Amino acid sequence: NLNAAFFSSEWLKNVDGLYPLEVSEDWLDGKYERKALLAIQPRSIPDDEFNPLEYGLLVEVSLGSRVFKNTKEQLALQDEGITDESWYYVAMTMPTIVLFACVAMYFFLYLSKDTRDVSDVKRYALGQKRRVLGKLKDMKKFKGMKNHAYNELPTYRKNSKQS
Amino acid sequence: YVPVKKPKHTTTTTEVPKPWLRTISSTIKEIVTPTVIAGVTFSAKPLETPDPLQPWISLKKDGTPQTIKPEIKKGRTVKASPDYSTYFKTAYTTTYSYEDLQAHNMDADEHLEEEVFVDEDSTYISLNPVIRCTPDTYFKKGIARDISSEPFCTPRENSVLKVDHTYFVTWYTRFFRDEVTEETIDQVRLHLFAVKEKAHDKGFKR
């Protein structure tokens, strides 16, 4: 019924055939967008007999995108040297904190270089890197392998052309 | 480094269209006050010398106005203001007898029935520069696009109407007729109803 309508225009002259619909934020009921049925009721149909689905159109009411641009007023203020630089402080805060932490860390490490003992960590790390496998002859797989002793390579007397 | 592009300086007028006097029905005088809605001036005073290339206001699919400027190209007018055919005319059937016409190829007892179209009263229509809705400009709505949008022409179905914007809702004025007298209904009213949406109707995640 008509009580469900969140907007109703006044009675309009049908001969105009036109109505400028200005979308209000109140229609959204706090939402970003909302589907709505646009219906037209002729004077000849009483309110209780009116069926909005008979001659209705489905439309979407939306808050729309808000594009933040410099308005003429803001540009005029900038021309006069009045700027809102709060965003600048926010943008610079995080890199400054990181830089300060890096410098503090450097000095801390520099000052504690003589009293620092990380040998256990170093040993463990190197142990992980160079794992001792043992001698080749102790390995089951290579037990039967004959490891020949080193022999000198044969040498030959050079002929006259080679020298 | 991107240089800041400043908007070009535009000259805007704060001049309010002044009321003007016109004579309707040859004797009655009336003061007409122009109104500006969404940049469109309604009830503006007609030019002293009518311009055939006078701009007119068309409507986009969502009902926002756009100015169309007619041009003459190769001797023909392009983008001329729309012709509404006989949609806003009233048809009358006039019967002529042989005595009335005295046509040489007519029998004495023969009657000629001729359909005559009479233009509507343009007293108030002429003040509207926006394109009018006719059955020619209906569109198809529904999931299968098989239902006529009558009596609406704009906005199209599922148009997005943004807050703080003005959209023109247009309908065919001769759609609603009295069942008995067949006369066009004088007054109408627009309503907006909330639609209960299912989860899958709510669109994409944002």
User: Cβ–Cβ of B184/A28 closer than 8 Å?
Assistant: no
A4 reaches B (C-beta below 8 A): yes
Cα torsion through B140, B125, B87, B64, rounded to 10 = -20
> Contact B185/A13 with Cβ under 8 angstroms?
no
Extract the tokens encoding A16: 């105009």
Pick the residue of B125, B131, B192 with the most A CBs within 10 A to test the interface with A by mutation: B192
H or E element, residue A43: none
Task: Decide: B21 and B32 in contact? Cβ < 8 Å.
Answer: yes
Min Cα–Cα distance to chain A from B178, Å: 7
Please give the C-alpha separations between residue B82 and each of A16, A114, A160, B35, in angstroms, as whole numbers: 16, 92, 113, 23
To test the contact with chain A by mutation, choose from B148, B163, B176 the residue with the greatest count of A C-beta atoms within 10 A, namely: B163
Determine contact, residues B161/A59, Cβ cutoff 8 Å.
yes
Q: Which of B38, B173, B203 sits opposite A20 (nearest CB)?
A: B38
B168 pLDDT higher than 90: yes
Residue A92 contacts B where some CB pair is shorter than 8 Å: no
b/e string for B142-167 if b means 16 or more Cβ within 10 A? eeeeeeebebbbbbbbebebbbebbb
pLDDT of residue B14: 64
Does pLDDT of B141 surpass 60? yes
Confidence tier at B203 by pLDDT (50, 70, 90): low
Distance from CA of A73 to the nearest CA of B (A): 12
CB contact under 8 A, A12 and B189: yes
CB < 8 Å to B143, chain A: none
Nearest CA in chain B to A23: B163
**CA nearest neighbour of A9 among B192, B193, B190, B185:** B190
The reported pLDDT for the residue numbered A141 is 81
The answer to whether residue A76 neighbours chain B at the CB level (below 8 Å) is no
List all residues 6 or more positions away from B106 whose beta carbon is below 8 Å from its beta carbon. Answer: B98, B112
Using only C-alpha atoms, chain A has a radius of gyration, in whole angstroms, of 44
Q: Which two tokens stand for residue A34?
A: 């909302």
How buried is A34 (Cβ within 10 angstroms: 0-12 exposed, 13-18 middle, 19+ buried)? buried
Cα separations (Å) of B183 from A15, B89, B122? 12, 13, 17
Nearest Cα to Cα of residue B93 among B112, B108, B109, B110: B112
- Out of A2, A9, A18, closest to residue B128 by CB: A18
More confident residue, B53 or A161: B53
CA distance B153 to chain A (A): 10
The answer to whether residue B26 scores a pLDDT higher than 70 is: yes
- Any CB–CB contact under 8 A between A1 and chain B? no
Is residue A91 within a helix (H) or strand (E), and if so which, with residue range? Answer: helix A86-111
pLDDT < 70 regions, chain A: 1, 66-68, 130-132, 147, 162-163
What would the pLDDT profile of B65-124 be if each residue is shown by its tens digit? 999 999 999 888 898 888 888 888 888 888 888 888 888 888 888 888 888 888 887 777
**Chain B residue whose CA is closest to A63:** B163
- Residue B206: pLDDT band with limits 50, 70, 90: low
Give Cβ neighbours of residue A22 (< 8 Å, ≥ 6 apart).
B164, B165, B166
B149 contacts chain A (CB < 8 A): yes
- Strands (DSSP E) contained in chain B are 20-24, 28-32, 35-37, 40-42, 56-59, 65-68, 71-73, 76-78, 90-97, 111-118, 140-141, 147-148, 152-154, 160-162, 166-171, 187-194
Which residue in chain B is spatially nearest to A74 when comparing CA positions? B6
pLDDT of A52: 87
Q: Looking at B155-159, B164-168, B181-185, B197-201, which range is the least confident one?
A: B197-201
Inspect the interface and report whether the beta carbons of B189 and A40 lie closer than 8 Å.
Answer: yes
Q: How far apart are CA A63 and CA A77, in angstroms?
A: 29
Q: Report pLDDT for A103.
A: 97
Report in angstroms the alpha-carbon separations of A47 from A51, A56, B181, B184, B190.
9, 15, 21, 19, 12
Interchain contact, B185 vs A14, CB within 8 Å:
yes
Torsion of CA A133, A139, A142, A147, to 10 degrees: 80
* Sign of the four-CA dihedral A98, A101, A103, A109: negative
- What value of ipTM does the predicted structure carry? 0.81
* Torsion B152-B125-A8-A27 (CA) sign: positive
Q: How large is the average pLDDT for residues B173-181?
A: 87
Whether the per-residue pLDDT at B144 is higher than 90: the answer is no
Give residue-wise pLDDT tens across range A17-38. 899 999 998 998 888 888 899 9
- pLDDT of the residue at A109: 92
B37 touching chain A per CB within 8 A: yes
Task: Choose among B37, B176, B185: nearest Cβ to A20.
Answer: B37
Q: Please report residues of B whose CB lies closer than 8 A to that of A17.
A: 132-133, 170-173
- A to B CB pairs, distance under 8 Å: 185
CB A38 within 8 A of CB A56: yes
